[in-house]
Structure formats: structure tokens, C-alpha cells
Amino acid sequence: MLLDTYGLVYRAFFALPSLTRKDGMPVNAAYGFTMMLNKLLAEERPTHVIAAFDKGMPAERVALFPAYKAHREAMPDPLRPQFALVREILAVYGIPILEQEGEEADDVIATLARQAEDAGATTVIVTGDLDLLQLVDERTTVVTTRRGISDVVRYDPAAVRERYGLKPSQLADYRGLKGDPSDNLPGIPGIGEKTASKLIAAAGSLDALLAQPALAGTEKLRTLIERYGEQAKICRDVSRIRRDLKVGVDWERAWYTPPSNDALYRLYAEMQFTSLLNKLDPPSDMPLFDRAPRPKGEYRSFVAAVDPPEFVRLAQAITQLAGCERVMLTLDGDGLGMTDRAGSGLAFARSALAQRDVRAACEALWKHPRLAFYDAKRAMHALRDLGFAWRVAGDDAMLAAHLLDPSLTFSSLAQATLQYLQIDPGEDPAAQADAAMQLLDYTRPVLAERDQIRLYEEIEVPLATILGRMEEAGIAVDTGELRSLAGELDASIATLQQRIYDFAGETFNIGSPQQLGHVLFERLQIPGGKKNKTGWATGVEVLQALAAEYPICRLVLDWREVTKLKNTYVEVIPQLVDPRDGRLHTVFNQAATATGRLSSTNPNLQNIPVRGDLGRRIRKAFVAADGAHVLLAADYSQIELRLLAHLSGDAAMRAAFEAGQDIHDFTARQLFALNEAQTATAEQRRMAKIVNFGLLYGMSDFGLAQRLETDRSRAREITAAYFARFPSVRAYLERTLEEGRERGYVTTIMGRRRYVPALRSDVYLVRSSAEREAVNAPLQGSAADLMKLAMVRIARRIDVEHCEATMLLQIHDELIFDVRRDALADVAPMVRSEMEGAMQLSVPLVVTLKSGRDWYDVQPYHG
């Protein structure tokens, strides 16, 4: 495994928020690099590892093109000292560093990969730079970082061809044509990525294209190639990675042996990587005070209490707390912790609640208006088992911590206190309560300073209880329907399997990539097969490219899809149904996404298929409680586009929503300049829909061209026409990016922040990814804020008015309720009213209602 170290450290720096040690040394890049390194070592399990560093600019590249990389910004000051830390980290991991004076890491890596290949080894190159894809072949793969520090993409020859339509050896020619802004290479003006790919694929090479410009196909392109051909050659030559450096390496020294627990502990302690440190055991010769400090205070523990007098004292202490202004309650296993202020704490075991006086004191405390928790939903679930009713928390320190840094979930108290207070709460429930109170004392003023108190108090805190009640309610499942569907899927699988066998002329394990590859590319001799480390590549990217011409490939893809439906949903869901009530109880994660959207796990009900009839049929198994009840589905209509109209202030878009027009039809009319007598075609509406939603996700001209199945210049024309018709939208998007660069974050309507420090990155791919996140986050996050606020309002109405309705699921822009049939006429308009009135926007919010016995057969409800 060869590490492009500079690129990975830069990636980590811009992916993580600012982190510093107690001495003020910034460590976010070093910490992120360590996290990446640990993940790579665990997943790749390399025999040898080498870290390559840049050490100067190759003289021959500068001679060819003096402006090479000349426009790059200076290294950020907080990053500069962290490379020394990274070298220390590599030393502890026993990973040798290889660098050569006046050479770039790319050329060092290329030379090492060639040497490894000559020795019969396979190589994985880890980088943030797509230039290294030139090196991909049957023995060398490239793993590139895509988002953050954990999302990676693996490139073998088939994946390179899938992305570029070219062989890896053609990528330098491709780069010569299109240029590379990140390296200041101009290429040929007017030729973008798609055109460059087509030209190189058609001509075979840049030299062949320059020798015969007519191969370009159009007069315009021929003229550009003749005019800028020499410039393209220079850009190509500068882009070529050298594989012939005189690099000597001691491969035995590069053999990777994992560092010991003690070595890692000392490293993490020095770096103050507390979250990593606490996963290790302290060395016997290293005093415990080198760990993160524990909170110190006046703690009283009744955990071991067995005598009645002890329980009397405990009850008195809890009663005294009930009279205080604010009380923190934490749970960890069997222990409960309580405190009313930092520096103190009370601890006792759950079993103490069986004592009458203790129980009565806790029930009185349960009514305290400012009873605070760490992870209120989890705590209340545990206390529900002990007979305590659901209630709204006074505070939730976990949610406060997450709002301050939405990139982290803070599922444990230790993660939050180590992040913000640099203390380890330890195992004592009293100290844990103290640490949680200190955390709350820290986070609330910061939330107020950031104008996020309303978001916290009016949405996130009350929502925790609502989600807990939804989890407890669950949704009824008709397992008989799933059994019936399983039978249909079995029949479909059998039919597909037999057709595949008929094409193959033999039976084999279709699910085995080795056997499938043998049949397709050896026995049937289908061209286009590619081998990887384990044999023939048979991924979707390979089979999809062959499916149109070779029916067996399409059948294999269909077989995989139907098999996945059966194995992932139809067979699994019945196993997750609680046998006590016949209902499925998912878990809603309130602090799992950076945008504020909820996620669902165990199982993920937000991922139930919506495409394909067999996939949608799974929803038929989700049913109302009984014959006296129905499901009510309430869905926000085009919410993110309505938010775009509101936030941008675009008059034309607002007018369309005010008039109740189909926004995609309206956009098509604007894009294609249709008059009132003309009707937008289905194709024009499809294109308008792609453009509308493409903007929400920061889609580039290149991405839009792919979705529209057109060339990049046409996509650019359509984008220009769109912004000409909706000029305020362009201004809003540009303003969002500018504010994001300036502040380091973007915000939702309710003030939720999404940190995007990579907007300032000088790495093009990193920066462009951050720009897409920055454009989308205010819209997706505002939609999440709106939905959460609506849930709080509806839950309050249901409780106050004693409605015969239960909120069951939240699926992105949709809410699912179980409603008594004879109460539907009252509940449905209430739900619509609360959802449409949750926020006052400059465009109307529209909610569509559907009702039915099951989730699949719900029909429009107009009552």
C-alpha cells in the first residue's frame, strides 16, 4: 500500500473542523490522517506500506510549463506544523517515508508501483488525486477519498473505463485536452471532460488527433485542435507521471507489523487524540493521569446500598434535588446519576427504585420542568421499563453537543465531554452526571451566541420524546403478505436463474463472482472482461455496459435485484417483528446526519424501495393496527424547490408556486421559451425536472450533461437559460457559497449549521464536493427543520385534543399515522393545517394526504 501522504493530510485538514491540543497545537489534519490510516490498514490488510512525500517541483515540468501549479494558495498556517506530527505518527506505526529531492510523490509512487509489479506483487495506491489513475492496471488499483475522511472510491481498469470511457494509459492525453485547473494547466479552451473523452477514444491518442485534426468531427473542434494543439501536448507531457526514478527501497523495512498497544497509547496521549486513546489500555509503567482527566467533585454513591437507612438518605437527597432550579439525570447500564450543579453528583442503582421512598422521590423529580438528560430518548426508553411515563426533557446535552458539531453523533457522553471539556467522565454515575451538567453549562451559552437556542429548545429537545414514542409504537406488519411476496420472488428468481443457465449452457453459482466471471468471459468469450485481484470483475459497472448487447448480463443484473429484495427486506423484516405485538420497532437517529435529517436503523424503514412494482409491494405489508384503523400518509409537495423559491426570492418561481402551477412544467416553459399556446412535451418536462433538482444538489455541467444524456456544452446552455429565467436563484447560490467560504459554514432557516471548511481548499475535487454540500445543506436542512417543527406541532395537538391517532413513521418529506377510521375526518385536516402552517414562507406549503389500509394502497384523501 502506497500513501500519497500530502494529499491525504490536506484532505483530512479540510474535512475536519479545527482541533487543538492543550498547548495550542492544531491537530485536526494529524487526527484525520490517523483515522484514515487505521481504516485503510484494517480494510486493506497490506503486507507492505510506504508513505511517499512531495519534496520539491520537478525541474523538467517547470521547464515545460513555467506556470505549473503557480496559482496555488499558500499552505494554511494551522496545517503547516501538522506534517511534523504526521511523520511522528508514521514512525510509531513503523511505516517508512520515501521522498526524493526535487520530485513529486506521484512519481515516487509510480516508480514503487512498477517495482512492485516487476516483483509480482499487487499494489493499492491511496490518494486524493485522480492524476494517479494513470497507474491503474491489472496489478495496481487506486483508492481515492471522495467525501470526508471515510468515503472512498476504488478504481481498477474497469472502473476507470466506466468513469472516463478510456484506458488508464490514455488519461494523460485526456488531461492534455481538457486541462486541469488545480494544476493551472489550460488544455484546449472550449474542450471539457466529455468532449475530451470522446476525442481520445475516437482517435486513440492525442498524437493521432493532432496528426489528423479532422478526426475531431466538427469544424469548430478541428480549428481548436489546430490552434491549441501544441499547448495540449505540453499539458499532456506535464501530466505524465514518471515511473523511472532512481528510487531505492528496503522492502523488508516496509513490511508492516501493527504497533503495540503501549506504543499507540503513548502516541495518542502525546497527540491528545482522546477518542482513540480511550479505546486502549494504559501501559503499566505509564501513570493514569496521562489519560484525559476525570471530573472532580463532591460525589455521593448509593450504588451498593442494601440497608433501609441508606435508602431513606437516598430518597431525602433526591427530594432535595427536586427543589433545585435544574437537575441532570444520566443512565449508564445499571447506574443512575443525578446532580443540580457542576462539581457534585449523586449515584444509585436502578434496583433502588423498588424501594417505596426512593420511587416516590424519583416520581416527584420526574415532574421537574427542567429535568435534563444526556440522550433523553435512550434514557426514557430505559425508564419506561421501570414504569415512568414519556415526558419532554428540560434539556438534552447530547443534542446540544451535536448542534455545535453536526459532523459527530456524540452517541456516548465520553465522546462529547472529551471533545468540548477534555475530561473523561469515567465509570462513576455521579461523575457522569457532573460531566453532563458541565457539558450543558458549556453548550447552552454557545448555542445562544450562535442564535440556535430556538432550534434546540423548540425543535430538537421536544422531538426526542416524540421519536421515542414513535419507536415504542412501531408499525403493524402483515407477515403473511411478505410470505406471499417471497413466493413470487422465489418464482421470479427461479425463472431468471433458468434463463441464465440456458444462455450459459450449464448450471453454476450465479452469486459467485469467480464462477460468473468464468462463464461470461471464458466459456462464452464475451469481450470487455477485466480481471482484478480475485479474478474476473463482475460488478454492476461491468455488466451494465454489456447488458444491451448480451442478454445474459441483463438477466444477471435482474437476478441480483430480485435476490436482494428477498434477502434484504422480505426475509429480514419478519425476523425483526416483535412477537409480543406483531409490530416493527425501528430506531430513529436524531444526531446521525450533518444536515439535520433523521435516519432510521434496525431496520432502515427510510430505505424501503420505491422503484419497481416488486419493490413497492413490500410496503403492502405495512398495515394499520386493525380493521377500525387506517394509515394516513401526509407528504410535503416539492418542499426543497419551494424553499429554494423562498430563500432565493426569485419572483418567477414564487409566482409559479403562488398560482399552483406544476413547477417542472413551468420551468420547462421558461427554459424552452414556450408561449401560452404551446404545451411542454414529456421530454422537456423531464429535462426541466432534472435541472430543478440538479440545482438542489449542486450538480455540475458535467453531471447535468450525464443526467440529460447530452453533451456538456448543451448542458451549459440549458443551465444558462435556467439562470436567465430565474436570476435570483443564481444570486442566491453564489451568495450561499460566498458566505460559506467567509464563515466556514452555511445555515438553514432555523439556524442549523453545516460546516464546510473545504470550500477554501485548493484541491479542485475537494472544493467542488464542498460546494455541492454547501448549496444543498441549507435546502435539505431547512426541509428537515420544517418537518421536525411540524412533528412537534402535530404531536402537541394529538396530546392536547386527545386525537385517536398515532404518529408512526417519518420518511424524508412524509409522515405516516395510524388513525381510527371514524376520526380520520378530524385528524387529516389537522395534520395538513399543522404541516402547512409550521413555517411562514413567501410561497405556500402544500401537503398531499393519502389514506388506506396499507402503505402500498393508500389513495388520495380529500375529506
pLDDT score at 289: 43
What's the rounded Cα separation, in Å, for the pair 752 and 784?
10
What's the rounded Cα separation, in Å, for the pair 267 and 508?
51
Q: Give which of 478, 540, 829, 778 is closest to 646, Cα–Cα.
A: 778
What's the rounded Cα separation, in Å, for the pair 395 and 461?
7
Along the chain (863 residues), what's the average pLDDT of each consecutive run of 10 residues?
92 84 81 93 93 83 79 70 88 92 89 91 91 93 80 89 92 91 84 90 91 89 89 90 86 90 91 86 64 82 80 94 96 93 93 93 97 97 94 98 92 91 90 97 97 97 98 96 92 95 94 91 90 82 85 94 87 91 94 90 77 82 96 96 94 92 86 82 86 78 73 83 88 94 95 92 82 92 97 97 96 95 96 97 96 95 85
pLDDT score at 147: 67
Question: To the nearest 10°, the Cα dihedral for 564, 566, 568, 570?
Answer: 150
What's the rounded Cα separation, in Å, for the pair 353 and 428?
18
Q: What are phi and psi of 439, to 5 degrees?
A: -65, -45
What's the rounded Cα separation, in Å, for the pair 574 and 439?
41
pLDDT score at 287: 54
Q: Assess contact for 91 and 22: CB atoms under 8 A.
A: no
Using the 8-state DSSP alphabet, how is residue 92 labeled? Answer: H
Q: Give SS3 for 48.
A: strand
Task: Kindly report the length of the chain.
Answer: 863
Over residues 567-626, the pLDDT tens digits come to 888 988 999 999 999 999 999 999 988 899 999 987 888 777 766 787 788 999 999 999
Residue in the block written with cell 503486507: 47
pLDDT score at 718: 84
pLDDT score at 100: 86
pLDDT score at 72: 61
C-alpha distances in angstroms, 522 versus 103, 509, 525, 557? 43, 15, 5, 19
Residue in the block written with cell 455521593: 300
